[in-house]
């Protein structure tokens, strides 16, 4: 198996564009490709999955242990011919400016995988050599094996860029993407438009791969890619427990409004005995039959607030089950859905489930972004008091939750140590803005799958 990391000098240089084009070209050659995404992003993985035909996974060395990163990588790429990892932000951008923690470079170092550096050359010529030389020599533990230029204006422009790098650097120049707006993926406030909302995705990808076939040296990429063992050597994933004979049936919200889930989280729940039944808060009038609990992840409920409001039947069912004591776990967009309503930027309120006596108000500016650690300050459906887990927040809304609503989390922002209380509880409902990753504490997943369902005995 060969593998490579696609990294950037900074955010917005075209990592996702080149990653999805590379996956498509490798697939075109008949190779089985396993995609990964460094960091906590949900949207890029959707494009990877669509093209590769198999789930893309997140690798995040801040939210996960190094052993977990290795195990997830080897386990999920064991039957692949080529593994492609898309980086996050710039290559060395992480938790702070002093080390590699939380960066693409940390993943490259842990897995000992060569890096292809993407450089936006729109306003650059000979200085490209200095830029690549600096990245190449900044940390010798990170192997920058190749460079691809994006936004190149002409063949002559590319010639100058190539000469500048080859004059001083060891890094291989692998090609370029021309300055072409018709291959840019559309974006919105949380990142790229999701695959579910991008009807032109396949056409864009076809155009992109046609360009990359002639402008990027795929054979050279295959040559510089590492050969890695296919063995799964750490065995830290949970094993199915024989005593858990009664499967818990977990309804998972999944549609255009709710699709921000870490694939590993879903897999771990399954490993611990949960049977996942997916439903659409947008389209389904009824929840799946015989469920024991509900999991509502993040997404874009604010974009589909009218449609969610219109589905009063499903909202009513969820609220009734909450009142009856069913356990419900919700993250970010799921939390917003469980409030009384979402107030859009025009001040209009759209009615939601109404479990929590508060409203989610959309903001024109980002409210929160970054890694957080969570400590349970009380027992919940996920954890016992004192237990800790890691996660990530990214949202453009705020909720003024009444003081009468119980808080079960102490949340600490990793970058500055700022603390606040969250983890809103009502009966057996737990909701938070934090997207947690069970890879940082698998016991939280186990606890969720052993919650006592209504009318069921274990």
Query: Which residues form the catalytic set?
Result: 332
Give the 3-state secondary structure of residue 318.
helix
Give the 3-state secondary structure of residue 83.
strand
* Helix H or strand E segment including 57: strand 57-59
Do 130 and 449 touch, CB atoms closer than 8 A?
no
Pairwise CA distance, residues 35 & 54, whole Å: 8
Give the 3-state secondary structure of residue 428.
coil
Pairwise CA distance, residues 448 & 109, whole Å: 34
Alpha-carbon 90 to chain mean position: 16
How many C-beta atoms surround the C-beta of residue 385 within 10 A? 11
Backbone region of residue 371 per phi and psi (left: phi > 0; alpha: psi in -120 to 50; beta: other values): beta
Cβ-proximal residues to 127 (8 Å cutoff; 6+ apart), any chain: 164
Bridge pairing between strands 327-331 and 258-260: unpaired
Do 52 and 80 touch, CB atoms closer than 8 A?
no
Do 349 and 359 touch, CB atoms closer than 8 A?
yes
Question: Which of 14, 16, 13, 17 lies closest to 38 in space, CA to CA?
Answer: 16
- Hunting for tokens 């959309």 — which residue is that? 362
């Amino acid at each position: 198996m060969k593998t490579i990391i696609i990294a950037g000098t900074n955010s917005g240089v075209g990592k996702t564009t080149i990653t999805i084009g590379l996956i498509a070209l490798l697939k075109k050659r008949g190779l089985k490709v396993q995609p990964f995404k460094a960091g906590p992003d949900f949207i890029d993985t959707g494009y990877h999955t669509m093209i590769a035909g198999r789930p893309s996974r997140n690798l995040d060395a801040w939210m996960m242990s190094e052993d977990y990163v290795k195990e997830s990588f080897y386990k999920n790429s064991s039957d692949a011919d080529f593994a492609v990892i898309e980086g996050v932000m710039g290559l060395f951008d992480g938790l702070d400016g002093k080390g590699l923690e939380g960066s693409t470079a940390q993943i490259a170092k842990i897995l000992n995988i060569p890096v292809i550096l993407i450089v936006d050359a729109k306003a650059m010529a000979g200085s490209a050599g200095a830029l690549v030389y600096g990245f190449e020599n900044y940390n010798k533990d990170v192997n920058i094996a190749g460079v691809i230029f994006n936004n190149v204006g002409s063949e002559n422009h590319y010639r100058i860029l190539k000469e500048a790098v080859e004059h001083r650097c060891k890094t291989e120049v692998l090609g370029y993407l021309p300055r072409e707006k018709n291959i840019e993926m559309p974006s919105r406030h949380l990142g790229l438009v999701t695959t579910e909302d991008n009807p032109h995705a396949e056409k864009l990808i076809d155009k992109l791969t046609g360009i990359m076939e002639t402008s990027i040296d795929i054979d050279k990429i295959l040559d510089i890619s590492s050969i890695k063992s296919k063995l799964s050597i750490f065995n830290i994933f949970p094993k199915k427990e024989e005593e858990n004979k009664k499967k818990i049936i977990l309804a998972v919200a999944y549609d255009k409004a709710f699709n921000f889930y870490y694939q590993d989280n879903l897999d771990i729940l399954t490993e611990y005995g949960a049977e996942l039944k997916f439903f659409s808060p947008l389209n389904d009038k009824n929840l799946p039959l015989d469920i024991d609990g509900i999991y509502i992840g993040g997404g874009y409920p604010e974009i589909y607030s009218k449609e969610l409001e219109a589905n009063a039947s499903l909202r009513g069912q969820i609220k009734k089950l909450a009142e009856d004591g069913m356990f419900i776990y919700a993250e970010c967009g799921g939390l917003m859905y469980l409030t009384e309503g979402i107030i859009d930027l025009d001040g209009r309120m759209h009615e939601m489930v109404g479990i929590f006596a508060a409203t989610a108000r959309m903001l024109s500016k980002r409210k929160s972004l970054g890694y957080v650690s969570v400590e349970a300050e009380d027992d919940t459906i996920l954890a016992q008091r004192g237990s800790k887990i890691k996660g990530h927040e990214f949202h453009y809304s705020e909720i003024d939750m009444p003081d009468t609503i119980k808080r079960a989390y102490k949340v600490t922002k990793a970058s500055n140590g700022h603390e606040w209380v969250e983890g809103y509880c009502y009966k057996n409902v737990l909701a938070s803005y934090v997207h947690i990753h069970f890879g940082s504490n698998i016991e939280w997943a186990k606890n969720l799958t052993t919650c006592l369902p209504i009318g069921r005995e274990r």
